[in-house]
Amino acid sequence: MGGPSVATRRLYTGVVRSMALYGAPVWAAALTAQNRVRLWRPQRVMAVRAIRGYRTVSTEVACALAGTPPWDLEAEVLAEVYRRVADFRAESGFRPPPEDVREWREAARRATMARWSFRLETPRAGFAAVEALQPVIAEWAGRQHGTLSFRLTQVLSGHGCFGKYLHTVARRELSPACHHCDCSEDSAQHTLAVCPAWAAQRRALTAVIGVDLSLPAVVRSMAGSDSCFTAVATFCEVVISRKEAAERAREDDLHSDPIRRRRTGRRRPAYHSLMPP
């Protein structure tokens, strides 16, 4: 897919984060529920763009996949480090040694990851993805290998070229059934672990990461190994690109149901009436 590179997206995210958290040690303790929502809104936009995900991906899933802790928690980290530096200067009259400051920041970050993991235990949306990421969120956020692509994010988030998503969210299919086999529901997990149309690609994948293709097991292997991350990314690129090609063919087919055809003009108003009740 086109667009800015991963490094550029991370740079943009870092710039917006710095602007959002400016003066955090002053206002972090006064955060209210309403102010937290105001922080989450721009963070969600940047996280969705960083992971190259659909706009329908939830805030929790987008931030978890991007490996960026909620900014309200990061504000608390900045406030904690600032407080410790101020206390040290008040007691000694000197600035604390740089190594002490680094240690305080690392301790505060570990505490932030623990609080973030605890918060992810009760997600409000994206339950499957959050359930897979929550146990390994520290490892996932801190990994030095692998980058998310548009098609890999579809499989991990469940939002993409799947019958279930196209039917229930995008409203582009009359049913959630799989077009590549006789299964009544085409989900990301079905595509990853079950659909016989992708058996050859699945054999190549399991040869690297093992036979457990549950999403938690897949995410755990990706977080711990560059080769596993690459194997999953390769599977997703091949399979999702073929599913996208099949979807485009259905859109261009003049004999297909109108709801599946390529949209022109006003999209939702024109097609909403075509969906079954």
Q: What tokens does 139 get? A: 């490892």
pTM, two decimal places: 0.86
Kindly indicate the confidence band of residue 277, based on its pLDDT and cuts at 50, 70 and 90: very low
pLDDT at 29 over 60: yes
238-261 mean pLDDT: 83
- Mean residue pLDDT across the chain: 89
pLDDT at 255: 66
pLDDT at 266: 56
181: helix, coil or strand?
A: coil
**pLDDT (tens digit per residue) in 99-154:** 999 999 899 889 999 999 999 999 888 899 999 999 999 999 999 999 999 999 99
For residue 36, count other CB atoms closer than 10 A to its CB: 14
Kindly indicate the confidence band of residue 157, based on its pLDDT and cuts at 50, 70 and 90: very high
Could you tell me what percent of the chain has a pLDDT over 70? 91
pLDDT at 26 over 50: yes
**Which residue type is seen at 125?**
A
CA distance 210 to 114: 29
Kindly indicate the confidence band of residue 259, based on its pLDDT and cuts at 50, 70 and 90: low
Lowest-confidence pick of 4-8, 15-19, 59-63, 167-171: 4-8
Lowest-confidence pick of 10-19, 183-192, 212-221: 10-19
Q: What tokens does 266 get? A: 């006003």
DSSP state, residue 96:
P
Which own/partner pairs from 176-180 qualify as long-range (CB within 8 Å, at least 24 positions apart)?
Answer: 179/246, 179/250, 180/243, 180/246
Q: Which residues contact 268 (CB under 8 A, 6 or more apart)?
A: 171
Kindly indicate the confidence band of residue 5, based on its pLDDT and cuts at 50, 70 and 90: confident
pLDDT at 10: 82
Q: Which residues contact 223 (CB under 8 A, 6 or more apart)?
A: 136, 139, 140, 143, 229
CA distance 195 to 197: 5
Lowest-confidence pick of 3-7, 32-36, 135-139: 3-7
Q: Which residues of 131-144 are buried (b: 16+ CB within 10 A; e: fewer)?
A: bbbbbbbbbbbebe
CA distance 36 to 29: 12
Phi, psi of 198 (to 5 degrees): -115, 30
Kindly indicate the confidence band of residue 256, based on its pLDDT and cuts at 50, 70 and 90: low
Q: What tokens does 1 get? A: 């897919």
**In whole angstroms, how far apart are CA 117 and each of 136, 198, 234, 235?**
9, 34, 28, 28
CA distance 203 to 196: 11
